[in-house]
Amino acid sequence: MIVRINPFAALEDIGRRRFILGSGALLSASAVALLAGRPALAAEYGKKKGADTQSDIRILNTALGAELEAIAAYGVGAGSGLLQKPALDLALQFQGQHKEHADVLAKTVRKLGGTPVEAKSRYEFPTEQLKTQADVLGFAAGLEKGAVSAYLGAVPLFRERELARAAASILGDEAMHWAVLRQALGENPVPAAFVS
Amino acid sequence: MRCALAVTLALLAAQCGIAAGSTAFPGDPARGAAIYDRCIACHALAYNRTGPKHCGLFGRRAGSVSGFAYSPAMARAKFTWNAETLDRFLENPGRTLPGTTMGYAGIADPRERADLIAWLRQATTESPDCRR
């Protein structure tokens, strides 16, 4: 049995928690700074907290933009008429999982006080190069491989460790997509012990 | 303000060839092609995606691809992309240009950066995608 989980569940109250922790820490730091006669230091501390959150929002929004593009890409693949079952079912399943990623990323951006990016009205894809089912699967595999690298590059940047953990959970899902697509293409599904 | 000044100075230094960058390694484009796979979640050579297109990258002012919505930080940048500025940026994008939306930790290995830059130099000028 597969249990559906929400990797961002620990972040359900992140906005409130940051407010409480942030304001609590700010108050005490402010008090110390003011007592020491250094109000500029207190202001600087508050700015740093805000900068951390803004940085996390930017990373989440970049990931959200890529997820929205992946949803559109799978839509193009599924609608191309080139995919036959069971590859078509796989594409639709993976598209659904990218939608789940996008939903939770957008909600998290909102919780942090940001504005989630929206899907573009138009995406460019190399459709002229997609002539067979293998072309579509290869294109999707490339995007999934890129997504693994993108999340790998994003995980260490999060200031909030729970965000890093949640992003790593998505990374794992993208890696499974990539492996399954490689298998469908007749390639070694797990070509190396590490990803980069 | 101090940070922005430091970034500007660092990038100017890189452009003037003062900073030791990827020039320490010749760079292998074949290996760089494999490293570019890390970029393809967000970038393509010929068209804008989550990140801007790469055709015509060398010699282009940062933040200047038409039709791409840059972060304010990149839009304000006043440097030109070349081997040195790319080397510095790719090592740690967020540190080199705070506020960039390129949420990527960077490529720590200077040889890998040199390989990627060698491939980018070749692909962004000579590939069929960029010649159209």
Per-residue pLDDT, A22: 43
* pLDDT, tens digit, 9 for 90 and up, residues A73-96: 999 999 999 999 999 999 999 999
d(CA A120, CA A72): 9
pLDDT tens by residue, B56-77:
999 999 999 999 999 999 999 9
The torsion defined by the Cα of A178, A181, A185 and A191, in degrees rounded to 10, comes to: 30
Q: What is the identity of the amino acid at A89? A: D
Residues A46-76: b if buried by 16+ CB within 10 A, e if exposed: eeebeeebebbbbbbbbbbbbbbbbbbbbeb
Interface test with A, best of B2, B101, B104, B107 (most A CBs within 10 A): B104
To 10 degrees, the CA torsion angle through A72, B45, A151, A142? 70
Q: Decide if B42 and A146 are in contact by the 8 Å CB cutoff.
A: yes
Superfamily of segment(s) A54-184: Ferritin, core subunit, four-helix bundle (1.20.1260.10)
CA angle, residues A55, A57, A61, in degrees to nearest 5: 120
How do residues A107-120 score in pLDDT, each as one tens digit? 999 999 999 999 99
Given a cut of 60, whether residue B35 has pLDDT beyond it is yes
Nearest CA to A49 out of A28, A78, A76, A70 is that of: A28
Residue among B44, B49, B101 minimizing CB distance to A58:
B101
The answer to whether residue A145 neighbours chain B at the CB level (below 8 Å) is yes
CB-CB contact of A95 with A75 (8 Å): yes
- What is the structure's pLDDT at A80? 92
B38 vs A156: CB contact, 8 Å cut-off?
no
Question: One-letter amino acid identity for B41?
Answer: A
Above 0.85 for ipTM, yes or no? no
Over residues A11-31, the pLDDT tens digits come to: 665 555 554 444 433 334 443
**Can you tell me the mean pLDDT for A165-176?**
96
Four-residue CA torsion sign, A65, A70, A75, A77: positive
- In one-letter notation, the amino acid at residue B1 is M
CATH topology for the B2-131 domain? Cytochrome Bc1 Complex; Chain D, domain 2 (1.10.760)
Averaged pLDDT for residues A28-42: 46
Domain coordinates of chain B in residue numbers? 2-131
